[in-house]
């Protein structure tokens, strides 16, 4: 939920509507993607410092998820992550 919340928040703050959440649950993994109509590239910012209030979202996703990525397409951007379990 933490990673999904971070990606959805980023889509609302930095992307364009509509924002869509896609979830796929497998036997040993969960894959989540957030789609938005924004045109900007999704980038991992410099690490946040203790005195900043933003810039930690994708670092959290990177630390928690098994893998993550993003891609631009004709309708906007998709940012996704996967968490594997046992």
Q: pLDDT for 56-78, tens place per residue?
A: 788 889 999 999 999 988 889 99
Q: Which of 30, 40, 52, 43 is nearest to 76 (CA)?
A: 40
- For domain 2-84, the question of CATH label 3.30.70.580 is answered with no
Q: pLDDT for 10-55, tens place per residue?
A: 999 989 999 999 999 999 999 999 999 988 777 766 666 777 667 7
What are the residues whose beta carbons fall under 8 Å from the beta carbon of 22, sequence distance 6 or more? 32, 33, 34, 35
Whole-model pTM? Answer: 0.86
Query: In the prediction, which pLDDT does 75 show?
Result: 87
Query: In the prediction, which pLDDT does 8 show?
Result: 96
């Amino acid at each position: 939920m933490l990673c999904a919340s971070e990606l959805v928040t980023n889509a609302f703050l930095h992307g364009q509507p509509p924002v869509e959440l896609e979830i796929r649950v497998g036997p040993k993994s969960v894959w989540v993607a957030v789609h938005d109509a924004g045109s900007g590239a999704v980038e991992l910012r410099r690490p946040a410092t203790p005195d900043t209030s933003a810039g930690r979202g994708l670092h959290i996703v990177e630390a928690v998820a098994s893998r993550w990525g993003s891609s631009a397409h004709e309708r906007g951007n998709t940012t996704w992550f996967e968490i594997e379990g046992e």
